[in-house]
Amino acid sequence: MNFDARAGPKEQRKIAKCAADVTSNRARASYKENRSFGPAPDSVMLASEITVPEPALPALNLRVLARRFAVPALLAAAAVVGVVLLGGRIHVFADALRRGLSVSPVWVIIGVAFECISLAGYVALLALVAGRATARVGTRESAQITFAGAAATRLLPTAGAGGAALALYALRRAGLKPAGAARTLLVFMVLLYSVFLASIAVSGASLALGLVHGHGPVALSALPAAGAVVAIVLALVFATVVGGEAGEPAADQSRVEKAVRLVGGAVRDALALVRSPDRRLIGAAAYWIFDAAVLWAMLHAFGSPPAVPVVVLAYFVGQVANTLPLPGAVSGGIAGVLIAFGSPAEIALPAVLLYRTIAVWLPLPAGVAALPGMRATISRWSREDSGATAAA
């Protein structure tokens, strides 16, 4: 510390005392402000006396790690096994990728147009079924429900459960009771998947009986056809068992009896709709036909496509694979059936990949755009219900 050289000894002592007091005051103030960060000045601890706690290691949860890395490990193992079993034919996949990047944009545009028509058919059918249950759901609301649920339906391997759950939620918010919303959704699903099952039965039987020329195992066409026929017969039997009964199921009925009653009633309602002259029923067939047409167009883009029944069977068997909770189940199922029936891998693989690209990603922008509108629609329904309750 520097003192004024011109000051005498007494003045210098006074200046030193004042400086010491200032320093002491500053030290006390600094301690008060930071007392939580260390001991008081008069009780300073030496470095050797300070006890530093040992850092705690995070708990290692093997189950969580196993679940997190199970799917990537399985996919990596499958890729390694595939390369080994192919005996060095990895160039097939490289050639497929090269073909996919060089495809003509005309066929891509045709595929996009087909997919748009497919989605329009879905919207039309939903507007018909839901519109008969509640006047609140028209074409606009059906489009919002369709596109908002498209991401969950196309991206998640749940056989459409994500979109169905969103549709059920929307029907409930539209004012339907739980049983009514479930019945309406089931009628819609019966109409939609009746075309699905009928297509598998017809295409599989045509190939298994030799009505259409196809180089493939008979079991691969006969078994899906038989399963589809059994499902159709069971649905009709459920409708017959229910008969003309209506109303809520009895409390003493078992879960199986309640399920049979619910499905049978939905089948009867669907049959009644089929007998009605409403053009929107075409939406059930349009949804599947034009989505499968995207696959046909992509096969045509890369070469000569196989017979139409082969494309139809491959498409619908691949959709059945969507029930498996595995990434790529649909693409693998479709490509596997096509290759089994003689379609070259260098054509089937890029065609299926391009088809899935269009089918998966095309609805997503519309789905993102539909979410705000759907939220606004549900809010409007809530305000209407609140106003009706207040008026009553």
Give 88-115 pLDDT, tens digit per residue.
445 555 555 566 566 778 888 999 999 9
Domain that holds residue 324: 115-383
Is position 289 within any domain?
A: yes
pLDDT of residue 233: 94
pLDDT per residue as tens digits for the range 364-381: 888 878 888 888 999 999
Is position 359 within any domain?
A: yes
pLDDT of residue 282: 95
Q: Is 37 helix (H, G, I), strand (E, B) or coil?
A: helix
Report how many domains make up the chain. 1
What residues contact 131, with CB distance under 8 A and at least 6 apart? Answer: 137, 138, 142
Is position 4 within any domain?
A: no
Is position 25 within any domain?
A: no
Reported confidence tier of residue 75, pLDDT bands at 50, 70, 90:
low
Interatomic CA distance for residues 227 and 203, integer angstroms: 13
pLDDT per residue as tens digits for the range 243-292: 655 555 556 667 778 788 888 889 999 999 999 889 999 999 999 999 99
Q: Closest Cα partner for 145 from 303, 337, 133? A: 133
Is position 49 within any domain?
A: no
Q: Do residues 115 and 362 lie in contact, with contact meaning Cβ atoms separated by under 8 Å?
A: yes
Is position 379 within any domain?
A: yes
Is position 59 within any domain?
A: no
pLDDT of residue 23: 55
pLDDT per residue as tens digits for the range 147-175: 888 766 655 555 556 678 888 889 999 98
